[in-house]
Structure 1
Amino acid sequence: MSSLNVAALSKWNSALGNDPTHNLASTVLKNYNADDALLDKTRLTQQDNRVFNTKISADTAPVTNQRASGRCWLFAATNELRIPVMKQLNLKEFELSQAYLFFYDKLEKANYFLDQVVQSRDEPVESRLVQYLLTSPTEDGGQYSMFLNIVKKYGLIPKDLYGDQAFSTTASRKWNALLTTKLREFAQQLRQCDVADLPQMREQMQKDIFKLITLFMDLPPVGPNNTFKWEYQDKDKNTHSIECTPLQFATDYCQLSLQPPPVSLINDPRHPYGELIKIDKLGNVIGGDDVLYLNVDNETLSKLVAKRLSKDKPVFFGSHTPKYMDKKFGVMDVQLWNYKAVGYNLTQSKADRIKYGESLMTHAMLITGCHVPEGEQVPVRYRVENSWGKDSGKDGLYVMTQEYFEEYCFQIVVDFEDLPQELADIYKSDKAANPIVLPIWDPMGALAE
C-alpha cells in the first residue's frame, strides 16, 4: 500500500508557490466560476458560425421546453415528427403532445418494472441486477426504441388536445419519488409472495399504480383507437378540422414509418463496428421491441446525418450533454474552455471515457442542419434544436462542431431506407439473431433525459 505522506504536502505546496502559472490560475479560480473564467472567447467567435448549406426547409416553431422533467427524448422525437404535419397542413406553429406519451410511458414503465421483478425473483436481492432495477424504476428518460414502443401502442395526438397543464408533467421530481417508493414496496411483496398469488397481486398493483399516476396527471381524453376531432388554423388563417385515431395520426400525418421502423446507430469504440448491440432487460412496454443499436464509425454517422438532411429530414441524436456546451452563446465545442491554461489536461479516449464512467448518453436533441465544405462529405458543424426553451442557446438553437460530434455524440436515428446496402444487410444476417448483449447498467443503456 502507498499511504499519503502528510509531510510531502508542504513540500508540494511550496514548489507550487514558486510556479507563477499555478499562482495565476489559482488566483483566478478562487475568485471566479471556472466556466466563466476559462471560456475561450477567441475560440467562441471562431466556432459561432450559423451558416449551414444543408438544412431542413421547415422552420419549426414554437421552441419547445421540457422544463424540470427528463422528457428530452420525447421532445426530440416529437419535434422531428411535427415537421411533416406542419408541411402537410400548412401550419406556422405546431407541437405534438409530449404529455400524452409521458403519461403512458410512466404507466408502462411501472408495469415493465413489476415484470422484471418477477423475472428476477431467483436472484438475491443484493445482486447487481436487482439493485439496479430498484434504482429508478420509472425515471423520465428513455431511448428512441422506447418512444416507438409507446407510439405503436398509443399513437400520437396534437398538444392542443392534451398539454402540460399538470404541474408534475413539467416538474416530475416528487412524482417520481413517490412512484419509486411504492414500486420498491411492491417489489418486496412480489419477491416474497407465493407464486400462485402473483397474477392477482400484479393486477392489483397495476390498478394501484394507475390510481397513483392519475393523482398527478389526468387520463388522456382519447384512447389509441378512439377517434378525436382536432380543429386548427393554417398559415393563411383558414380553419380546418381532422377526425382520426391517435394511431392514424402517427402514420398518416406524422408520416412515421413502422414497417420497417427507424433504426438507431451508435458510435461505441469499445466494440467492433458493423455489429448489432442489444441492451439486456431495458425497455418500457412488455412485448415491445428491444433496445437495439447498430455500431458504426463516426464518419459513417456524419455522412448519414448529411444525407438525411439533404432529403429534408431532421435527425434525432443522443449526446453527453451538457459536456462542453455553452448555454448562453449556444455553442457545443470540445475546445471551448481553455483548461490547458491552468494545467488541467485530459488524455482519455472516447472508449476509455465510456469504460471508466466518464462519458455516456444523457440527452437527446434534433439536428436540423449542417455545413459540408465544397468537395467534402463530412460536415464541419451542425445546427442543433434543443428543448430547453428560447433562453437556452440562441433562441433554442446551438452550433455543434464536428469534433464534439465525434467525441460526445453517441447515437443517431435514421429511417431504414437511409442505410447504405452493406448496413441494411446486417439486419438480415446472422448478426441480427446474435447481437452483442450488454447488461442494463452498461453506459450504452443510459436513458436520455
Structure 2
Amino acid sequence: MSKEIKFDDIKSYQSDLDSRKDAKVIGRAVAHEGVNAISANYSSVDANHPVFSIELETGDVADQKRSGRCWTFAALNTLRHKVANEFNLKGNFELSQNYINFWDKFEKSNFFLENILRTANKKLTSRRVAFLLAGPQQDGGQWDMLCALVEKYGVVPQSAMSETHNSNNSADLNSVLNLKLRRDALILRNLVNDGASDKKIAASKDKMLNEIYRMLVYALGEPVKKFDFEYRDKDNNYHIEKGLTPKKFYEKYIQLDLEDYVSIINSPTDDKPYKKTYTVDMLGNVVGGRQVKHLNLSIDDFEKLAIKQLKNGETVWFGSDVGQSSDRQKGIMDDKLYSRAELFDTDLTLTKAEQLDYGESLMDHAMVITGVDLVDGKPTKWKVENSWGKKVGTDGYFVMSESWFRKYVYQVVINKKYLSADLKKAQAKEPIVLDPWDPMGTLAKF
C-alpha cells in the first residue's frame, strides 16, 4: 500500500533535526566543504604508509589519459614487467596500448553485429536487445578479452604503434562508432525480419565491417604488421631485431602461455556457489576467441592465491570498485577513509554480497598488485600500480588496505600452477552461463 509524504510528516522530520544540538554546525560544514572532506578519517593515511615487505620492481606508471582502457593498461603492464626484467631494458618501456585498442574496437564491432543477428527475432523491448543497444562497444573490458586479442593479433612495443589523439581521448570516437553500429543494427534487423537471404545479410555485414575498419584506421592509425625493435639495456648495450611481426614479438620477448592464466572471482552472492565456474552471456570481443570464464572462490582462498603469486615474483592483475572509499590524490583505497555513517548518524552497512545484489558496487576498474605488506604472515596492505599517470598517489602507485581488498576486490588473475589440484579440477569444468547484466559481466572502464 502506497503512502504519500504529508506536510505533518515533514514537520516531524524537521522537529527531530531541530532537536539535535550539533545539526547546524554539521550542516554548515558539510554544505561548504563537502561530504568526503568533513567525514575524512586521516588516521587512514598513517595506517597506509607506502612501505611493503614484498615489493616487485615495475618501473614508471603508464597513463591511459581520457580513455577507459584500464583493463588493457593493467594487462599490458603485467606483460611489460616480464619483458623489462627478462631483457634488462633501460628506460620506461611500454607495450602499445593503441595496437590492442584498434583490434579490440574492430572485434567488438563484429561481436555486437553477431549478437544483433542472434537476437534479430526478439522485440526491441526485449531486455537482451536493449542491453546490446545501450552500449554497442566501449573502451572497457576484462582479462579474458585481452587474452583473446593477444592470442589472435600478438602485441607490439609502443614505439611500433604510438598513441593518437583518439586513443588518449576516446569519447568522440566511441560516440560516432556507436552511432554507426546502432544504424547497422537497424539495417541487419530489418533484413532478417524481411526474410533476406543469408548471402545478402553476410554481404551487408561485410560492408559494415569494411566501413568500420576505415573509421578506425583514420582515428587510431593503421595497425602495424612488421616492425624493427631496437633498445638499449641497462648496461647501455644497443640491440636491434628487424622485421618482427606482432606474434613473433610476443613469442620471443614475452613467452607467456596465456592459457595458464585464469580469472578468479570473489562473488559471495547466493546465486554463485564457490568452486564453480561462470561465464556471461553476450560478454566478449573476439568471435571464436577465448571465452570469458571465472572461478568463484571464498575471499580467503582468493587472497591466498594473490599472495602466493606475489611471493613467486609475479604481479597480479585485478578488478575492483575503485570509486569506493578512495582518495585519488593521496593514492589510498581504504574502507575506513571516510566516516560517512558517523557524520550522518545513520546505518550504511552492506555486506559484499548485498553490495552486488543491490547495485551498490561492482567491478569497474583494473589495476596491478605489485606488492604486499605481511605482518606475522598476514596481509595488512597492498601496493597497487594504477594507470592514471604519475601525478596521483605516490608517483602513480596506490596503497590498498587489507579490509578494502576484502570488500571491494572482485577479480584476480592467477597462474594455474598456483592452484591446488582440487581448484584446477574445479576451474576446468564447464561454466554456468549468467545473464548479460550480471555484476560479474561488468567491464573495467575507468
Distance 2:306 2:252 in 1: 24
- Pair 1:289 & 2:287 matched: no
Residue of 195, 215, 219 corresponding to 1:216:
219
Three-state SS of the structure 2 residue aligned to 1:23 is helix
Q: Secondary structure at the match of 1:291?
A: coil
- 1:445 maps onto 2:441 in alignment: yes
3-state DSSP class of the match of 1:49? coil
Cα displacement string for residues 265-317 of structure 1 (whole angstroms, at most 9, x for unaligned residues): 00000121101011111110010122110000111111111110111100000
**Residue aligning to 2:23:** 22
1:321-354, CA deviations, whole angstroms, 9 ceiling, x for partnerless residues? 1211111211110011111332143121111111
Q: 2:48, 2:381 within 8 Å by CA — same for their partners in 1?
A: no
> What letter corresponds to residue 279 of structure 2 in structure 1?
K
* In 2, Cα distance between equivalents of 1:422 and 1:252: 33
Task: Judge conservation of contact 1:55–1:310 (CA < 8 Å) in 2.
Answer: no
Report the alpha carbon displacement of residue 7 of structure 1 after superposing the two structures with TM: 2.2
Among 67, 70, 78, which residue is 2:68 paired with? 70
The residue number in structure 1 matching 2:6 is 5
Contact 1:62 1:95 in 2 (8 A): no
- Per the alignment, residue 93 of structure 2 pairs with 94
For the pair 1:150 / 2:149, whether they are aligned, the reply is yes
CA contact (8 A) 1:16 1:23 kept: no
Matches of 2:359 and 2:60, distance apart in 1: 36
Shift of 1:421: 1.5
Encode CA deviations 1:202-258: one digit per residue, 9 max, x unaligned: 110111111222221111222xxxx43111111122210124321122233123213
Question: Aligned partners of 2:22, 2:418: CA distance in 1, in Å?
Answer: 52
Q: Which residue of 2 aligns with 1:390?
A: 390
- Which amino acid letter does the alignment assign opposite residue 239 of structure 1? Y
What is residue 399 of structure 2 aligned with on the other side?
A: 399
1:235 aligns with 2:234: yes
The residue correspondences of 1:6-405 to structure 2 (distance < 5 A) are 6-45=7-46, 47-56=47-56, 58=57, 60-92=58-90, 93-164=92-163, 166-193=164-191, 194-196=195-197, 197-222=200-225, 227-243=226-242, 244-258=244-258, 260-270=259-269, 271-342=272-343, 343-374=345-376, 376=377, 378-405=378-405
User: In structure 1, how many angstroms separate the alpha carbons of the residues matched to 2:236 and 2:313?
Assistant: 26
Give the Cα separation in 2 of the matches to 1:277 and 1:242: 42
Instruction: Give 1:356 shift.
Output: 1.0
Change (3 A) 1:253 1:123: same
Q: CA deviation at 1:367?
A: 0.1
**TM-score, length basis structure 1:** 0.94
User: In the TM superposition, what is the alpha-carbon distance from 1:115 to its structure 2 partner?
Assistant: 0.6
Amino acid at match of 2:63: N
Contact 2:276 2:427 in 1 (8 A): no
Measured on the aligned residues, the alpha-carbon RMSD in Å equals 1.3
Which stretch shows the higher mean deviation, 7-16 or 176-185? 7-16
Q: Aligned AA for 1:200?
A: A
Structure 1 window deviating more from structure 2 (33-42 vs 407-416): it is 33-42
- Structure 1 runs not aligned, ≥5 long: none
Q: In 2, distance between residues paired with 1:269 and 1:443? A: 12
Stretch deviating more after TM superposition (124-133 or 414-423)? 414-423
CA contact (8 A) 1:318 1:365 kept: yes
Q: How big is each residue's C-alpha offset from its partner over 1:150-185, in whole Å with a ceiling of 9 and x where there is no partner?
A: 000110110011111x11101101110101111001
CA distance in 1, matches of 2:308, 2:251: 23
1:62 Cα deviation after fit: 2.5
Please state whether the residue corresponding to 2:342 is helix, strand or coil.
helix
CA distance in 2, matches of 1:121, 1:297: 39
Confirm or deny: 8 A CA contact 1:302 1:379 kept in the other structure.
Answer: no
What TM-score, normalized to structure 2? 0.95
- Secondary structure of the residue aligned to 1:210 is helix
Deviation at 1:187, TM superposition (A): 0.3
Shift of 1:96: 0.4
In the comparison of the two structures, how many residue pairs are matched?
434
SS in 2 for 1:345: coil
Report the Cα distance in structure 2 between the residues aligned to 1:304 and 1:399, rounded to whole angstroms.
19
Q: Which runs of 5+ in 2 are unaligned?
A: none
1:214 match: secondary structure:
helix
| Cα pair 1:230 1:241 within 8 Å, conserved | yes
Question: In structure 2, what is the Cα distance between the partners aligned to 1:387 and 1:399?
Answer: 14
- Asked if 1:413 is matched to 2:416, the reply is no
CA offsets per residue over residues 94-119 of structure 1, 9 Å max, x none?
A: 10000000011001100111111001
Q: What is the CA–CA distance in structure 2 between the aligned matches of 1:20 and 1:61, rounded to whole Å?
A: 53
